[in-house]
């Protein structure tokens, strides 16, 4: 690499996926040693192998502490734009009994540790990601949000994982465009601080965030939201007039309120919601519904979608509604062009008329895909195929088996 133009060498060094290799580059070449000061990105991950070596009596004295490696790399860099530091997911399998309760060598959201390096890079930093070691962070409440918000005025993307976070002292971050919390215990039970301090936020991801009681997301500029609720709060509310894409997974909220008139792509997974209220979706095009008991099935909501993906729980419930009284709202179905149905056939004499009823109401339907549950009776399920194709031959039919990670299509384009 000594023969490469400096700008190209810096670009390569900035793209190294494991910044521990930067130290090796510094030793291998004098020119690379000087160029490592110009890297724009640092990505350092503590692997399971490194962790085990640092714990073993035979090798721990020969292993450089993880935080020391990171401080050394950040200390020589002069123009960092992005930082990612964390522990490998495999460390999540470590038992609490195998870790010293007082240890903090992998407590990465420790304010004392972050203060050692953040002031050196905060001026130009645009992206920051910290994935903590849960065993050492879960019982230590961190004030890192206050530190980051008061130091990083240019930060645009912030991602924090596996930590207990306080919102005390959190300052507004008006330039932030993406905020991700994953497996976090958050001391903001109604997310009021999030609403107040990120008023211009367009992208919000809350994955497995605990500590919420009655969360109400009210963000006027939010366009994309991914929210998986780790516990069962009494109610969930989203008020986002510019929201376009929403992926929401929750358990059993008593109330689910959604005010997002511009929503076009909606994935909803909910075990049960006694009160499901939405305002009219004027632009909804794609709807994916997973539910074992939803008191307001999608046909009863004033929506016009072009693509609908229905999970097995939701299909069973709406099929039961059909059995009890039929489908009342034709307007919710008339614009549909594509349907993907995940189902378990329990009674073909109910399922088949239900499918026929949908076909009659979906006058613009061109594609219909049915994924059968692998534990279902394939002899019964397979008898659906010729009867459906004969009933609506102009529709393009697909048949397959619903798998956990990847669906298997048996027949395409009948």
Q: Please check whether residue 309 is in contact with residue 288, taking contact to mean a CB–CB distance below 8 angstroms.
A: yes
**Whole-model pTM?**
0.78
Q: Which residue has the higher pLDDT, 203 or 411?
A: 203
CB-based burial label for 321 (10 Å; 0-12, 13-18, 19+): middle
Question: Structure tokens of 116?
Answer: 């050692």
DSSP state for residue 172 in the 8-state scheme: P
Which pLDDT belongs to residue 300? 47
Which pLDDT belongs to residue 181? 97
What are 228-235's contacts with CB under 8 Å, separation 24+?
229/253, 230/183
Mean pLDDT within 77-93: 87
DSSP state for residue 402 in the 8-state scheme: -
Is the pLDDT score of 327 beyond 80?
A: no
Is the pLDDT score of 343 beyond 90?
A: no
Is the pLDDT score of 194 beyond 80?
A: yes
| Three-state SS at 185 | strand
Question: Structure tokens of 287?
Answer: 């709807």
Distance of CA 45 to the CA centre of its chain: 20
- How many Cα neighbours within 13 Å face the side chain of 309? 12
Bridge partner residues of 44 (DSSP): 85
Q: Concatenated DSSP letters for 253-290?
A: -SEEEEE-TT--EEEEEEEEESEEEE--BSS--EEEEE
Q: Give the whole-angstrom CA distance, residue 258 versus residue 271.
A: 17
Helix extents (H) in 77-180: 111-121, 134-137, 144-151
């Amino acid at each position: 690499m000594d023969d490469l133009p400096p700008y190209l060498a810096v670009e390569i060094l900035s793209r190294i996926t494991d910044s521990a290799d930067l130290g090796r580059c510094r030793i291998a070449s004098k020119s690379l040693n000087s160029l490592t000061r110009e890297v724009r990105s640092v990505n350092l991950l503590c692997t399971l192998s490194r962790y085990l070596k640092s714990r073993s009596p035979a090798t721990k004295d020969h292993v450089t502490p993880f935080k020391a490696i990171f401080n050394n790399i950040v200390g020589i860099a002069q123009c960092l734009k992005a930082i990612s530091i964390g522990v490998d997911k495999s460390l999540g399998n470590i038992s609490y009994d195998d870790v010293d309760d007082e240890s903090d060598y992998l407590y990465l959201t420790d304010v004392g540790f972050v203060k050692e390096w953040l002031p050196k890079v905060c001026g130009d930093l645009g992206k920051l990601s910290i994935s903590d070691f849960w065993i050492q962070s879960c019982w230590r409440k961190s004030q890192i949000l206050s530190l980051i918000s008061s130091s990083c005025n240019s930060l645009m993307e912030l991602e924090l994982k596996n930590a207990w976070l306080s919102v005390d002292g959190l300052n507004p971050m008006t330039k932030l465009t993406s905020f991700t919390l994953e497996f976090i215990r958050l001391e903001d039970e109604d997310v009021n601080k999030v609403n107040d301090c990120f008023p211009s936020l367009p992208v919000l991801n809350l994955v497995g965030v605990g500590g919420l009681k009655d969360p109400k997301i009210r963000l006027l500029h939010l366009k994309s939201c991914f929210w998986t609720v780790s516990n069962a709060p009494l109610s969930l509310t989203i008020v986002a007039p510019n929201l376009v894409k929403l992926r929401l997974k929750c358990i059993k909220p008593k109330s689910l309120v959604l005010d997002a008139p511009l929503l076009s792509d909606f994935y909803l997974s909910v075990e049960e919601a006694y009160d499901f209220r939405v305002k009219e979706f004027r632009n909804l095009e794609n709807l994916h519904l997973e539910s074992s008991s939803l008191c307001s099935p999608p046909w009863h909501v004033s929506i016009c979608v072009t693509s609908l993906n229905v999970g097995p729980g939701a299909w069973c419930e709406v099929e039961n509604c059909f059995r009890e009284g039929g489908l009342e709202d034709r307007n919710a179905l008339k614009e549909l062009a594509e349907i993907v149905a995940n189902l378990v056939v329990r009674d073909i004499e109910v399922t088949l008329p239900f499918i026929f009823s949908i076909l009659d109401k979906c006058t613009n339907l061109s594609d219909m895909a049915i994924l059968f549950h692998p534990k279902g009776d394939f002899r019964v399920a397979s008898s659906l195929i010729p009867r459906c194709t004969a009933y609506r031959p102009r529709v393009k039919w697909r048949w397959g088996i619903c798998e956990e990670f990847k669906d298997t299509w048996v027949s395409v384009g009948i």
